[in-house]
Structure 1
């Protein structure tokens, strides 16, 4: 299905568009290039072992040993939950998410445990839970956590929520709205796991994207470039073009 692209103020023929091309997203310092949710825990552990300073590395090793020895809940709060709260201070903010994912994995946190941590934790701890879900919960039982994150406007939670767990378990209606929520909030669609596979030939998603683009254009507001990247997938199933390359509808981005 082909949708006409609304006019977005393209320069007249013969005039060079002087607007700078959108910058490419840069990898976050302190985490491996592969997203946390897709990185096997042993690989993640090896990465942190290489990058953490001696004291932080020793703290993480001890925290993982404690979590493995005391899985689940012991008393009002488990020892590994305390370590989750300490991770930012002990490992630094750039490594804290990865450290928390490893602790959750070592503790063999089940659906009840991750649900408790998510709803009682800070935003950073909630984000780590979302990253850890594919490693911990094989079925859809933790979907309420994804659904909660998708109701927020916290871009960090949203980016973590549209990872591989959502790709596996959100139904088509929920998944389409998750993609739209990324567009609403400015979260890059590159965060959406299995975007190409799930968007391919999705006529309803194409309709929703077309409606959203028309609304933005009618209001005199710019249409996100990511919208057209996803729309191209619904039409052809092809890989979305990189930022700065020729636009699928003929305009240079």
Structure 2
């Protein structure tokens, strides 16, 4: 479900923590920041740091999809809280039209990408189940059909990852100036981090699918397994177990994918409400 914007914020605005023009002039946009003007901004920065660390771990050793999706959702929850502040609303309304359009476009593309990701996971889960059934019954034609579906979904994931990586780079390159640069810049960096993490999640899912059910590895199992030669059943059983693990992982990610998609959509709606003048 989307974050509930009606919930209370645990960091009340006090005079000592409110923004002043002088403090905003002195602070840097660079992230991560250890001394932010408001606790909610510090919380957002912390989530950005966490997401960047997860991306590095994924590149190094392959982190789990649920962890990546949970980090993206947590980032958007922190962003939702931040967007309730008058300071953040004022900062966004003062940004240039180019920066505002880039931010809105980024979250629109993110929403579209996560919707496509959900569809790909469903396709990959179904392909894994079909491949597993084909191996069990020795049906080469059924296995080939499942492999084709798998390859199509993996190609879509690769395209989604590439398009979202471009969004991340575009957001990260935007330079904001002025007294509201810290707040607006943090929101822009959050968009960049969300896009980068999304690309990593998409790539990781495609890699998991390919590793677990590569058609070149699977094709040799069917005729041998069907004739029940001595060495074949053990190899095919291992392949079916990998497919079962893959299918279960993708099925378990369904709820997390939906939560992330809804949170991205809600973030864009909130930004649009802030940036659109009241008629």
Q: TM-score, normalised to structure 1's length?
A: 0.25
Larger radius of gyration: 2
